[in-house]
Structure 1
Amino acid sequence: MAEMPSLSERALQIWKSGVRAVDSQSLVRNAIHVSEQELTVCGHTFPLKGHENLVVVGAGKAGSGMAAGVEAALAGSPLAERYRGWVNVPADCVRPLSKINLYPARPASLNEPTPEGVYGSRQILKMISELQQDDLCLVLISGGGSALLPAPLPPVTLEDKQAVTRLLMSSGATIQELNCVRKQISQVKGGRLAQAATCGTVIALIISDVVGDPLDIIASGPTVRDSSTPEEAIRILEQFAPDLHQIPESVWKVLRAHEEQPESSTAESQANVINEIIGSNATALAASEKTALELGFEVYSMGSANEGIAAAVGKELAELCLKIRDGQGPVHRPACILSGGEPVVDLSSTSRPGKGGRNQELVLAALERLWEEDMTGICLLSGGTDGEDGPTDAAGGIINAGILQQAQELQLNVDDFLQAHNAYPCLSQIRGLLKTGATQTNVMDLRVALIE
């Protein structure tokens, strides 16, 4: 009789089943069908006769798999010789494809715009601005697209944009607030990519990495008309910048110009634009729930809309594990708690944050809460479905009774690591890091807690 996998192995199995369900290549492959007469994308049909060429562009952490899905769908079809493309992806996601150029727009684990990203974005803009009316443009969008598709609106420079992005991220701004500002100073975000396309139809396939799947927020909505305003962006900057001189003058100049001429920032696209979400955190969560049930766990799902401060979320999750263990929770043992979404790390408590990410901080905070408890029969895992957590090579973290014992034997001061936002070296010492490598998808974070 085969030995029962450990609790940690089963938690990882449940987590991985969720990630597999949002495999970007499969999602795109299933969304596109080509016959001798027509192309169908998510139920929208286009006769091949009358549409000359297909151009594929995009950006995101899932871009490599999405582009491979397009190529798999078009292989052997009448469109096989009539398409080309360019997609900006992280450097560790580059692989050779037949007709679509996967361009390394930033290094792995550096979620910031780079000069390479600007170059790639310019190539995309050039490609779609030369299309004919009867061409089709397919845009592949996934999480991380904001940083991978940088095209600052002159006179804003990349350095100016980076300064603003870093200030907002380090001050605890939400992804919605960050994207509001980025859209107002970009040539592609907030629907401007679709505006630049000179063809008759733009179809966007989108893998969502934002709570609630708002089209205008995912990758800063390059194919969705911007609903935010320059006034909102100005208010956000005023809220998070202690000194307004920290914001480059070029940024104020662009925002004030749009404030005076709002129509310049909200122009409609000339093309017919179709936006379709093909995968989300809810997709992953449903697959994880199915696997947990198959493994004999009673499931308590907290849904896909969990936000908040990572350390607080970690402590709350640990409390819930203890309640279920003690028979006072919403489900009975053996139980599986599932949670999706994306908490944030508020770095404002230190001027020199250490190494880590929101999932690692969440798990370390849970470990601190469980320090005096018997963790036998409890395992908690939190990981980014993209395989990245902050500027590190880990997807997140995992804790169990053995890991807690190691931390205690080493007499680690977990609170010191938490205060310094330095979860990575702490978890590394106790083998609590979750390392998966790039997963070719991105639908926020997925947490699995098991209580036997």
Structure 2
Amino acid sequence: MSEMTSLAKRALQIWKSGVRAVDSQCLVRQAIQVSDQELSICGHNFPLAGHENLVVVGAGKAGSGMAAGVEAALAGSPLLERCRGWVNVPADCVRKLSKINLYPARPASLNEPTPEGVYGSRQILKMISQLQPDDLCLVLISGGGSALLPAPLPPVTLEDKQAVTRLLMSSGATIQELNCVRKQISQVKGGRLAQAATSGTVIALIISDVVGDPLDIIASGPTVTDPATPEEAIWVLEHYATDLNLVPKSVWQVLRANEDEPEARRAQPQANVINQIIGSNATALSAAENAARSLGYEVYSLGSTNEGVASEVGIDLAELCLKIRSGQGPVTRPACILSGGEPVVDLSSTPRPGKGGRNQEVVLAALQRLWEEDLTDVCLLSGGTDGEDGPTDAAGGIIDARTQKKAQELGMNVDDYLQTHNAYPCLSQIGGLIKTGATQTNVMDLRVALIG
């Protein structure tokens, strides 16, 4: 980091301001107030005299901070002594809390369901199925919750579910399409977690990692009734599976069996379920904008709903930087372009995909586009707010005059790295990786481009 240019340091400062604004512990702490008489969660009030126990469950990359936020909010209240819980989190997010068990449901940087995740999900289901009507069930949901809360519907096994997930992810399916299938073969997704709870009230606090913040998509909507049908899941599989035999027979069995009676598999709406979004990409983007303005930049925000192909996003951002630098852009220099959302990388375009992530691919594609340009006054950063980008230890990447010079000195063929989706080793050699470790929050990606 000490080698970074001043422009890169400012870009990272702006990015980190956005990430801090969605700190999961602070978001939950702000959402919960407790007095001697009542508990208030996002404006919903519950008299303590009428509610016996508070059980906290959940899953997600932000789960550790969210659970800590609950305990911080209840500190000094008798309700803390009547609180217990279980939250599935990545292994590098586990820490000791007084009342809520943080359980390592998957290794760090492996965003896939595991046997440990299945065990943790069963413990959660067991806990919430034994609640009394006067108990409160608080569910903490954040991005990554789908992989951290696996409970396959028999006869589907974890291995079957993993095979389907990998197949769809490597074929370019959207998160919406992936979740459509996962929910139809799950005991918890698509509102079935809330349905399993026997308490009088279920309150879900949600940190969104999906474009548009659709409640039924975030972590596959464990507390939100699934609007999809088995037919839609079948269509997704048929559309993306080049060979239908790659889809396990048990998955077809469950989907075909429920095709004739989708209502039997659909979680029924419950009047006692409250869903509240407490943080999103827009929250981070707004804070990043404030930080950029405080540093003297004119801000041009592309909003929080950017999707598309990662390499194309990188090229578009690079061209926008050039346009602003030439005086023909939507804002004048010094300028900051902000962009939120989540592009995709289609790994099926090469037989042997390399190591990288969508954010790394964004900046590498931008570097290729800007290869012949003078980058003295240009810097572009793209990072996952969760501190993870693909199956790597980097949050994303950053390019500027320093990294460009290094790449040119090494004679790198950037196009080769892009074609094989192998951004990590390329950026690693030129000092273009951003490594933050797990941030314990997750609101998709945040991109910052500066034109001095």
Alignment TM-score, normalising by the size of structure 1: 0.98
What amino acid maps onto 2:220 in structure 1? Answer: S
Cα offset for 1:267? 3.2
Q: How does 1:282-297 map to 2 (within 5 A)?
A: 282-297=282-297
What amino acid maps onto 2:48 in structure 1? Answer: L
Q: How does 1:4-403 map to 2 (within 5 A)?
A: 6-268=6-268, 272-403=272-403
- Would the aligned equivalents of 1:54 and 1:84 in 2 still touch at CA under 8 Å? yes
What CA distance in whole angstroms lies between the structure 2 residues aligned with 1:25 and 1:353?
36
- Would the aligned equivalents of 1:198 and 1:271 in 2 still touch at CA under 8 Å? no
Could you list the structure 1 runs, at least 4 aligned residues long, displaced by more than 2 angstroms after superposition: none
RMSD, aligned α-carbons = 1.0
- Unaligned stretches of 5+ in structure 1? none
What CA distance in whole angstroms lies between the structure 1 residues aligned with 2:16 and 2:413?
31
Instruction: Give SS of 2:81's match.
Output: coil
- Would the aligned equivalents of 1:199 and 1:271 in 2 still touch at CA under 8 Å? no
Q: 1:442 to 1:286 in 2, by over 3 A?
A: same
Instruction: Give SS of 1:381's match.
Output: strand
CA deviations 1:80-118 (Å, max 9, x no partner) are: 110100000000000000000000000000000000000
Partner of residue 427, structure 2:
427
- Would the aligned equivalents of 1:198 and 1:270 in 2 still touch at CA under 8 Å? no
What CA distance in whole angstroms lies between the structure 2 residues aligned with 1:388 and 1:253?
35
What amino acid maps onto 2:418 in structure 1? Answer: L
What amino acid maps onto 1:264 in structure 2? Answer: A
Alignment TM-score, normalising by the size of structure 2: 0.98
CA deviations 1:402-440 (Å, max 9, x no partner) are: 110100000000000000100000000000001001001
What CA distance in whole angstroms lies between the structure 1 residues aligned with 2:6 and 2:399?
13
Instruction: Give SS of 1:28's match.
Output: helix
What CA distance in whole angstroms lies between the structure 2 residues aligned with 1:407 and 1:9?
19
What CA distance in whole angstroms lies between the structure 2 residues aligned with 1:130 and 1:217?
27
- Would the aligned equivalents of 1:194 and 1:271 in 2 still touch at CA under 8 Å? no
- Would the aligned equivalents of 1:359 and 1:389 in 2 still touch at CA under 8 Å? yes
- Would the aligned equivalents of 1:163 and 1:247 in 2 still touch at CA under 8 Å? yes
Instruction: Give SS of 2:9's match.
Output: helix
- Unaligned stretches of 5+ in structure 2? none
Cα offset for 1:78? 2.1
- Would the aligned equivalents of 1:200 and 1:271 in 2 still touch at CA under 8 Å? no
Instruction: Give SS of 1:49's match.
Output: helix
Instruction: Determine whether 1:406 maps to 2:406.
Output: yes
Instruction: Give SS of 2:277's match.
Output: strand
Instruction: Determine whether 1:443 maps to 2:411.
Output: no
What amino acid maps onto 2:40 in structure 1? Answer: T
Cα offset for 1:132? 0.5
What CA distance in whole angstroms lies between the structure 2 residues aligned with 1:273 and 1:246?
38
Instruction: Give SS of 2:49's match.
Output: coil
What amino acid maps onto 1:363 in structure 2? Answer: V
What CA distance in whole angstroms lies between the structure 1 residues aligned with 2:398 and 2:305?
21
Q: 1:370 to 1:127 in 2, by over 3 A?
A: same
Cα offset for 1:225? 0.2
CA deviations 1:36-66 (Å, max 9, x no partner) are: 1100000000011111000000000000000
Cα offset for 1:269? 5.2
